[in-house]
Amino acid sequence: MSEDDEDQSPASDLRSQRPCSPNKSRNCISSSQTFPDHVLENVLENVLQFLDSRCDRNAASLVCKLWWKVEGLTRSEVFIGNCYALSPARLTQRFKRVRSLLLKGKPRFADFNLMPADWGANFAPWVSTMAKAYPWLEKVDLKRMFVTDDDLALLAESFPGFKELILVCCEGFGTSGIAVVANKCRKLKVLDLIESDVTDDEVDWVSCFPEDVTCLESLAFDCVEAPINFKALEALVGRSPLLRKLRLNRFVSLEEVHRLLLLGAPQLTSLGTGSFSRGDQSQQEPPDYAAAFRSCKSVVCLSGFRELMPEYLPAILPVCANLTSLNFSYANISPDMFKPIIHNCHKLQIFWALDSICDEGLQAVAATCKELRELRIFPFDPREDTEGPVSELGLQAISEGCRKLESLLYFCQHMTNAALIAMSHNCPELTVFRLCIMGRLRPDHVTGKAMDEGFGAIVKNCKKLTRLAVSGLLTDQAFRYMGEYGKLIRTLSVAFAGDSDMALRHVLEGCPRLQKLEIRDSPFGDVALRSGMHRYYNMRFVWMSACRLTMGCCKDVARAMPNLVVEVIGSDDDDVNRDYVETLYMYRSLDGPRKDAPQFVTIL
């Protein structure tokens, strides 16, 4: 349950509070309350402040009005799964002492160019509202939001105690915005830019950190596509005694990493190695990289390798035995290069790689990494008709070797039902199963049958499954399985699958916990959409693009469900009177349709 589960309007008897000091002093009393109320409220505050889980807090707030009010006063960390589910004003009215905000914007399919740019998810209204309401804000964690340099500047100026900025899959800002944050947030502990699109404003942001000793604990800028001032970075690391996590971008060479490790290796727990290739000094003798890695006694998480020179890969061997997380997903590593490395990684729990390691590499993982919890295999060549170096063989090996597997993302060209059935039996702990057979509508390449039985086995036997993404040739039968057995599924991704409306109906009439549904290019139409009307208020969102929906039906749904925002997103040459709906994106909202919708969005 998330923040946007609540559909109570803000209580009108909420008196305006005197501003409280940052430490949770118990002396925030409104003098006009009667004595017993005041005592009860204080007691409740003292108790409720220990509630961390937002599910628990949501439950507590439903007990009675007083509990609702006090819970609102004591919630310091707010999660908003859809920025359009409520307005910033509602947030600040409901929760008075927020220290930490986690906010998500665009739906995931926007990552794959299925949504035009400038759709929305602007951070601006949030930061400007919070600037006035939450002077003690410490942490902002955004995912798929549009953030401008001005927003970052406002953030940096408005929150003197600001400690953590995490931007995941965000865009709209550049190195100049980062520079302002670096310079003005004197208490900054965490600056994590992850998979975000950061424009190169040619600003030396690394030099903008204040000159005294910093509080930095985590600095991640591997996604920043701009050169940095290495001397400044070296100096920064030198005066950041608390630094534990450092993720460099591809403009940092191996020699430079070597120098940084000499400075601060023993404290680092997480290292993003940058390019992992030599800079311009290719003529000189390389320094002893292995020695530098040997001094990384605490490193448990390794990533980077953005422009890997494979001959230097063995330098990481000294840290392999300690690694719990390894990300090779930017490195084109062949099986022969890979096997000697992975052979040492007995403690590995999280492993991301490109399929260049082949089935052979996966077999090596299965043989060594018995503690593996999460595996992600990305395609080196993400096209539909290539040979495909990984297949059901790799998956079978993983299922037999890594019995504790919880989360899988696997891109391949071919798959068999047998491998999925095996995995469903071997890996009962699976909560996330995302298989992408890149060739659309591909059947089991051994039997020629649809992939129904394989995915059916996954939903049936993996009783803890909460997230599922399907692919390959799938008939309505697969969806029947999903609806019947997918008792805990919260997120479902469907592409190029199903035969008829029945498929989607199975899912909407089953899957009791379904929250997020994203479908593309599947033959589901109005009948299917109507069959879910009893549950759209209990879901975070539904996305359907290139399906068979008509405008008429979407209008009916919008009319019948006033708290549902029904967006129809068209392409540029769309005629408003067309009946065919290109993209439907609908979500519940406490505050009605948004005011910032661009021209290509029609809100019904």
Partner 1 sequence: MTYEKVNELNLKDTELRLGLPGTEQAKEEQEVSCVRSNKRQLQSDNEEESTPPTKTQIVGWPPVRSYRKNNNSVSYVKVSMDGAPYLRKIDLKTYKNYPELLKALENMFKFTIGEYSEREGYKGSGVIPTYEDKDGDWMLVGDVPWDMFSSSCKRLRIMKGSDALALDSAL
User: Which positions lie near partner 1, rule CB under 8 A?
Assistant: 109, 111-114, 169, 195, 197, 223, 282, 306, 329-330, 332, 334, 354, 378-385, 387, 411, 436, 438-441, 495-496, 520-521, 523, 545-546, 571, 573, 580, 582-583
Give the nearer residue to partner 1 in terms of CB position, either 194 or 232: 194
The rounded distance, in Å, linking the Cα atoms of 471 and 115 is: 21
Given the DSSP bridges, would you call strands 564-569 and 583-588 parallel, antiparallel or unpaired? antiparallel
**Quick check: helix, strand or coil at residue 233?**
helix
Angle at 255 between CA 252 and CA 257, to 5 degrees: 55
Nearest to 13 by CA among 68, 87, 85: 68
Enter the tokens of residue 174. 């550049």
| Residue bearing tokens 């997903």 | 329
Q: How far is the CB of 522 from partner 1 (least distance, A)?
A: 8
What is the C-alpha separation between 103 and 139, in angstroms, rounded? 11
> Taking the complex as a whole, how short is the minimal distance between the CB of residue 432 and partner 1, in angstroms?
15
Residue with tokens 């000091």: 21
Report in angstroms how near the CB of residue 238 gets to partner 1 at its nearest.
Answer: 30
Nearer CB in complex with partner 1: 204/384: 384
Torsion angle of the four alpha carbons 357, 362, 363, 369, in this order, in degrees rounded to the nearest 10:
120
* Cβ-based nearer residue to partner 1, 138 or 222: 222
d(CA 3, CA 82): 9
Supply the minimum distance, in Å, between the C-beta of residue 569 and partner 1.
11
- Residue appearing with tokens 């809100």: 603
Q: How far is the CB of 323 from partner 1 (least distance, A)?
A: 22
Exposure string for 290-316, b = 16+ CB within 10 A, e = fewer: eebbebbeebbbbbbbbbbbbebbebb
- Rounded to a whole number of angstroms, the minimum distance from the CB of residue 270 to partner 1 is 20
CB 224 within 8 A of CB 193: yes
Minimum CB separation of residue 112 from partner 1 in Å reads 3
Q: HSE-up of 226 (CA within 13 Å, CB side)?
A: 19
Nearer to partner 1, 265 or 435 (CB): 435
Least distance between partner 1 and beta carbon 450 (Å): 12
Q: Is 479 exposed, middle or buried (0-12, 13-18, 19+ CB in 10 A)?
A: buried
Between CA 345 and CA 376 the distance in angstroms is: 16
68: three-class secondary structure by DSSP? helix
Tell me, what amino acid is at 84? Y
Least gap, CB of 442 to partner 1 (angstroms): 8
- With respect to partner 1, which residue has the nearer C-beta, 95 or 146? 146
- Specify the residue, 214 or 275, whose C-beta has the smaller distance to partner 1: 275
User: Which residue, 384 or 596, has its beta carbon nearer to partner 1?
Assistant: 384
Q: CB nearer to partner 1: give 9 or 281.
A: 281
**Which DSSP letter does residue 73 get?**
H
Give residue for tokens 């509630």: 51
| Least gap, CB of 169 to partner 1 (angstroms) | 8
The angle formed by the CA atoms of residues 438, 444 and 447, to the nearest 5 degrees, is: 155
- The total number of residues written for the chain in this structure: 604
**At its nearest, how many Å lie between partner 1 and the CB of residue 363?**
20
Cα separation, 282 vs 413, whole angstroms:
38
Of residues 421 and 581, the one with the C-beta less far from partner 1: 581
Instruction: Name the amino acid, one letter, at 25.
Output: S
Closest contact distance (angstroms) between CB of 145 and partner 1 is: 16
Q: In whole angstroms, how far apart are CA 3 and each of 124, 466, 493?
A: 20, 19, 23
Distance between CA atoms of residues 474 and 140, nearest Å: 41
Q: Which residue's CB is nearer to partner 1, number 216 or number 412?
A: 412
- Look up residue 413 and give its DSSP letter: S
**Shortest distance in whole angstroms from residue 471 CB to partner 1:** 9
- In terms of CB distance, is 537 or 580 closer to partner 1? 580
Residue 47 has, within 13 A of its CA and on its CB side, a CA count of 12
Quote the least distance from Cβ 415 to partner 1, whole Å: 13
Residue partners of 225: CB distance under 8 A and separation at least 6: 198, 200, 249, 250
Nearer to partner 1, 129 or 329 (CB): 329
Residue 105's closest CA among 494, 538, 600, 596? 596
For partner 1, give the closer residue by CB, 52 or 195. Answer: 195
Q: For 513, which DSSP code?
A: T
Q: Which CB atom, from 195 or from 596, has the smaller least distance to partner 1?
A: 195
Residue among 240 and 491 whose Cβ is closer to partner 1: 491
> What's the closest the beta carbon of residue 496 comes to partner 1, in angstroms?
7
Contact 268, 299 (CB under 8 A): yes
Strand partners, 583: 545, 569
